Structure 1
């Protein structure tokens, strides 16, 4: 349920293009960062727009000019922080392409987008809007990149054709989310040691190569 109830006229006005001065990008960013912080501290159920506005140092009216409800605010934050992985560089090999994908995903999950995902996984199970946006913003970019990696590898003759290239994305997301969010580290990494995400990417790479039917250095390939 939306946290704020508005009249039809007000709701219609909110959907109209903004007039006058352009929105302050600095305030937008402050509100999005505050949303992630409050979610981490209080969870979705404990988050209020008043708490977010106070943390960001703005009025609730400023927040409501941007997002009409608590759910809209959280959805907007998820879209902003769970950034698209971007174009996949062609490294010339399956191992190089896959390593780049794993590194990029590790960076995303260890940043604000990952912290947001960690908090919202449970809520998304019974909130359709959040489930949709998390799939679109976090999972789908990996599916697209994984499909590109597989198509290039098949075209080069590195691996046999796959019935569903998107299975690779499921392996990447599922494995990294499990390790980073559900498996507590026995001890913090040493200074200058790879982050948990970097270490996970290195560990996962040879297993994914074997799962795809590619030879690895350990196989003598």
Structure 2
């Protein structure tokens, strides 16, 4: 699964030279790996260039500072989160989305996000990029899933704004960000079977 997508628009450098968009994804993936390894504080432009296998000029042609580089990476992080999920039933839709989250948590994006959380307290630009990037993509994916379930008559209206909807991934997030316990597909299945699906089924009109 690709961890970072590259926008279709080809931006130009400050000097007007066209940028090679194929390099952007490679550089962003290098950033994610380094964030997971060393964190935001120890990240350097030189290290990114070396990890991506490009010259420093290629990095500085795209981003002026380390913050610009990381903010841009967060902003386009895993737009596949917003890919539609429509299996034909609420139960299988929820299962698909929850297992997708497990993959993300255990991949480079999940590791990078966790390493960035301490820095977000002091870097408002990072927080805003996360809020409008991966977090918004995740919310959009969930909202569409609840809307589909409502259209099929599986849930009453207003589910997307409910506490129940918010709680469907709460236990996974708790392990990921707080307790450090493994977030596995087996654990996700147990949460679905014992907590999430019974609560959702109880809402059936």
TM-score of the superposed pair, with normalisation by structure 1: 0.72
Identify the residue that residue 6 of structure 2 maps to in structure 1.
none
Identify the residue that residue 186 of structure 2 maps to in structure 1.
199
- Structure 1 residue runs of 5 or longer lacking an equivalent are 1-13, 187-195, 217-221
Give per-residue Cα distances to partners, 1:48-83, cap 9 Å, x unaligned: 112222333333222100111101111122234333
Q: Assess if the C-alpha contact under 8 Å between 1:147 and 1:166 holds in 2.
A: no
Q: Assess if the C-alpha contact under 8 Å between 2:26 and 2:52 holds in 1.
A: yes
- Which shows bigger deviation, 165-174 or 86-95? 165-174
Alpha-carbon distance between aligned partners in 2 of 1:166 and 1:101, rounded to the nearest angstrom:
17
Tell me which of 71, 80, 93 is aligned to 1:75: 71
Alpha-carbon distance between aligned partners in 2 of 1:169 and 1:84, rounded to the nearest angstrom:
20
Aligned CA-pair RMSD: 3.0
Q: Assess if the C-alpha contact under 8 Å between 1:78 and 1:113 holds in 2.
A: no
Identify the residue that residue 3 of structure 2 maps to in structure 1.
none
What number of residue pairs does the alignment pair up?
193
The aligned runs of 1:44-193 (5 Å cut-off) are 44-162=40-158, 164-165=160-161, 167=163, 170-185=166-181
SS at match of 1:90: coil
Higher relative contact order at CA 8 Å, sep ≥6: structure 1 or structure 2?
Answer: 2
Deviation at 1:134, TM superposition (A): 1.2
Q: Which has the larger radius of gyration?
A: 1
Alpha-carbon distance between aligned partners in 2 of 1:169 and 1:60, rounded to the nearest angstrom:
45
